């Protein structure tokens, strides 16, 4: 199960209370106050881990609480600090404060750490309140409460290329041809129910990551079909590959399909629609009417977009497309110095 948005509660440990105590030892007639301070509460820290790729764990464990500090004791003994906890999150997790909507942190690299809730400070014991005129103080402080927050975690997959298009435009088939990914593929709409990632290997030990998201239909921004909830997973990509089915079997007009998807992308984010894009005419092996392909090619030319023709079934244009995407998302290889 792929979970990409959850709400959790984090609670840092409360500080321990300060102690009220006096020294009562043999041969020490005026021992004075000896109450120790309370220990500090533990923190809650989010750690970015490459071993997690979904937020599923939080669906079954939504509360994360650190240990409170121990209370102070007599003989000026400070209470032990509460044990902090570390909560692993996948790479690409964005942390929001649910109450304010503020973005607190964006995890993009493994090993990143963010203290999301800090433990409370321990209270002072009565030893700190002694003065020359107040030598037997009974004042002592309670520990301060640790921070408590309700968070919304949102997972945005990290990929170089994002595949967009209508259902059954050939996105899943393409990613299965150019990478080792094996998404479920069938001849009915919405075969893809969750995002898929594929790593495309190139020469020179270089590679890039392609993300395939469920198909978009007209009215997706209003909740039709699967909606646009998965578009967040291509917000980080450097290139969008817009796949359009040019075969007659789709029963739709390729130019109209292209315009509808662009409108839906714009309704989600103007930044998304402004990303570098290439247009890919898919299912060329089943394209009987060349005018459908020509119309889409002319549209891409008018918009200044590169145009490619492929058939995942026969392999037509696949290698050319792989290299074209690599040129746009991978830095050129440096020539070794003599």
Provide the pairing of β-strand 206-212 with 196-202: antiparallel
> Are 35 and 137 within 8 A, CB to CB?
no
Mean pLDDT value across residues 253-267:
90
Q: Is residue 336 part of a domain?
A: no
**CA contacts within 13 A on the Cβ side of 185:** 15
Residues 13 and 91 in one domain: yes
Which pTM was predicted? 0.73
Q: Is residue 335 part of a domain?
A: no
Q: How many domains does the chain have?
A: 2
- Between CA 24 and CA 325 the distance in angstroms is 79
Query: Helices in 15-64 by DSSP H: which ranges?
Result: 56-60
**Which structural domain range is residue 31 located in?**
5-155
Residues 193 and 319 in one domain: yes
Q: Is residue 282 part of a domain?
A: yes
Of 132, 155, 178, which residue sits at a domain end? 155
Q: What is the CATH number of the domain that holds 226?
A: 3.40.50.300
> What does each C-alpha distance from 48 to 55, 92, 108, 173, 236 come to in angstroms?
12, 9, 8, 31, 17
Each residue's pLDDT tens digit, 311-333: 998 999 999 999 999 999 986 64
Residues 129 and 216 in one domain: no
Each residue's pLDDT tens digit, 143-183: 999 999 999 999 887 788 999 988 888 888 899 889 876 76
Per DSSP (E only), the strands in 63-158 are 63-65, 85-90, 93-97, 103-106, 113-117, 148-155
């Amino acid at each position: 199960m792929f979970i990409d948005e959850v709400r959790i509660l984090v609670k840092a440990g409360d500080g321990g209370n300060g102690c009220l105590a006096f020294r009562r030892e043999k041969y020490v007639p005026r021992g004075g106050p000896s109450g120790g301070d309370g220990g500090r509460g533990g923190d809650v820290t989010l750690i970015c881990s490459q071993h997690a790729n979904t937020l599923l764990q939080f669906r079954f464990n939504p509360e994360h609480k650190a240990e409170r500090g121990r209370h102070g004791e007599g003989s000026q003994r400070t209470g032990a600090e509460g044990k902090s906890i570390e909560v692993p999150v996948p790479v690409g997790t964005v942390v929001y404060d649910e109450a304010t909507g503020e973005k607190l942190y964006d995890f993009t690299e493994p090993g990143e750490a963010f203290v999301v809730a800090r433990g409370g400070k321990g209270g002072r014991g009565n030893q700190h309140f002694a003065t020359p005129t107040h030598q037997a103080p009974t004042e002592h402080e309670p520990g301060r409460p640790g921070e408590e927050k309700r968070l919304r975690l949102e997972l945005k997959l990290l990929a170089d290329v994002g595949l967009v298009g209508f259902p059954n435009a050939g996105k899943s088939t393409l990613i299965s041809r150019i990478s080792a990914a094996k998404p479920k593929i069938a001849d009915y709409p919405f075969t893809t129910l969750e995002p898929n990632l594929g790593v495309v290997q190139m020469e020179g030990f270089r590679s890039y990551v392609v993300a395939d998201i469920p198909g978009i239909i007209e009215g997706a921004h209003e909740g039709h079909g699967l909606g646009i909830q998965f578009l967040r997973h291509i917000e980080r990509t450097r290139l969008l590959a817009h796949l359009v089915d040019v075969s007659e079997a789709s029963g739709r007009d390729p130019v109209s399909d292209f315009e509808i998807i662009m409108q839906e992308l714009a309704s989600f984010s103007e930044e998304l629609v402004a990303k570098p894009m290439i247009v890919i005419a898919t299912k060329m092996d089943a394209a009987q009417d060349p005018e459908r392909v020509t119309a889409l090619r002319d549209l891409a030319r008018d918009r200044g977009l590169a145009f490619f023709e492929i058939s995942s079934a026969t392999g037509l244009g696949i290698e050319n497309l792989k290299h074209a995407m690599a040129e746009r998302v991978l830095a050129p290889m440096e020539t070794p110095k003599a």
